[in-house]
Chains A and B, each alone.
Chain A
Amino acid sequence: MATPAELPDLRTEYPPHAAGRNPAERSILLGLIPGIALLAVVGYAGKFVEHFINTYGKTHHLVLPNIEYVLWAILFGILISNTVGLPRIFRAGVATYEFWLKAGIILLGARFILGDILKLGGISLILVFIAFAFSLTFMTWLGRAFNLGPQLTTLLAVGSSVCGVSAIIATQGAIDADEKDSSTAIAAILALGAISLFTFPLIGHALHMSDRAYGLWAGLAVDNTAEATAAGALYSDAAGKFAVLAKTCRNALIGFVVLAYAIQWARKGLASRAATAQLDNKAAFLWKKFPKFVLGFLFISLLATLGSSANPAIAALGFNKPQLLALGNLSRWAFLLTFAGVGLRTNLKDLFKQGGRPFLVGAVGEIAIAAITLLLVVGADHFFHL
């Protein structure tokens, strides 16, 4: 079975750069093919099983539970990676799930008009700020109460309030945390993300939440973008869409949070000279940490908005309805590969191996953050009619 130590590439490593003109780079691209094919097979198997169960129920007049392909794809992935393990030949390609996630989010822009993004994005940003202020204070207190080091506490707070693994990696450099602290925080956040995949939809259904409110909640409370997207899509297609929007707003804040930490640690004299030197140009620092794929998402959404204009000259610049449908479906295919990747990189051993105080701090913090964001979303739904 694959151990966590053998699988760092599935958590943090970005896919290798695309093919260039030399044979070495071509072979890197060829090396991705088996893993991408595995993502496609696992994802499509999930879709096939959902369709098969629905058809079987209809033809035999049975009322069978409608389990979304998302859950099947994740479960098949978990089954493979935790039984036979993931052979080395597949790993580089499976690690591209994050690339497919970003491509899926950009293409999802076709399913939003800018007005929606501004309204829900604005509400999301306000809720993110409140939740972030709460989680930061709470996690810092919790970390101290459990005698965790300040670096590990900071990483857990950032991971659970901003955007999971990428926020932890970005903050690690700014506060000079060591590898052990960041891998502990990453493992705790990933394990908790896997748990939220199964608990969030159950809570959402129990509370009869609307697609918008649930999607917003999943986007605000689930840490990693892939898990937040999956947790949303597990509820409904529309909820998945809103979860991505709320999560993208959170992701866009990553640069500001990391910058604030970097300044604070530099002021205390705790940061290294290299980390302090990065702060000379704050605009460059923010741009470096900004998730650029958000720009692609906004651009596609702009073209969708133009296409919906009543003025034919303006509408001609954007996408028409069949084109928007095609782009939305492409986004679904990209997410299908992502969900398979989420399952394939989930290591059940991690859930039990963490065992110690970091996991406990992370778990208590996550539950508190999930509860407070749920209250915030229910309140926002009441006042702003999401």
Chain B
Amino acid sequence: MSTPRTRFSTDAWAIVLSLALALIIRIGVLKAVPW
């Protein structure tokens, strides 16, 4: 039996990506981002 899959909106994906990047920077995996 298939389970219903959660569909994320653009907003949700933008939040997920941004928070993941923020976490990566917060725990020090990525120390600097050049511009």
> Which of B13, B18, B25, B30 neighbours the largest number of chain A CB atoms within 10 Å of its CB?
B18
A299 / chain B contacts, CB cutoff of 8 Å: 19
> Which of B8, B15, B30, B31 neighbours the largest number of chain A CB atoms within 10 Å of its CB?
B15
> Considering only CB atoms and an 8 Å cut-off, how many residues of chain A contact the other chain?
30
A103 / chain B contacts, CB cutoff of 8 Å: 14, 17-18
With both chains docked as a complex, state the minimum distance between the C-beta of A113 and any C-beta of chain B, in angstroms: 16
Query: Per a CB cutoff under 8 Å, which of B5, B11, B13, B17 touches A291?
Result: B11
B30 / chain A contacts, CB cutoff of 8 Å: 326
A198 in contact (CB, < 8 A): no
A326 / chain B contacts, CB cutoff of 8 Å: 25, 30-33
Known contacts A14-B9, A20-B5, A326-B30; is-contact A102 B14 (Cβ 8 Å):
yes
Report how many A-B pairs have Cβ atoms within 8 Å.
Answer: 75
A217 in contact (CB, < 8 A): no
Known contacts A14-B9, A329-B33, A333-B35; is-contact A323 B15 (Cβ 8 Å):
no
| Interface of chain A, main secondary structure | helix
Nearest CB in chain A to that of B5: its residue: A20
Produce 1/0 per residue, B14-34, CB < 8 A to A: 110111011001100011111
Produce 1/0 per residue, A1-45, CB < 8 A to B: 000000000000011011010000000000000000000000000
B25 / chain A contacts, CB cutoff of 8 Å: 319, 323, 326-327, 330
A interface residues, Cβ below 8 angstroms from B: 14-15, 17-18, 20, 98-99, 102-103, 106-107, 110, 291-293, 295-296, 299-300, 303, 319, 322-323, 325-327, 329-330, 332-333
The 15 listed contacts between A and B (C-beta, < 8 Å) are A15-B10, A15-B13, A20-B5, A99-B10, A102-B14, A103-B18, A106-B18, A293-B11, A300-B22, A325-B33, A326-B31, A326-B33, A329-B33, A329-B34, A330-B25
B interface residues, Cβ below 8 angstroms from A: 5, 7-15, 17-19, 21-22, 25-26, 30-35
Given contacts A292-B15, A322-B32, A333-B35, 15 further A-B contacts (CB under 8 A): A103-B14, A103-B17, A106-B14, A107-B18, A292-B9, A293-B15, A296-B15, A299-B19, A303-B22, A325-B32, A326-B25, A326-B31, A327-B25, A329-B33, A329-B35
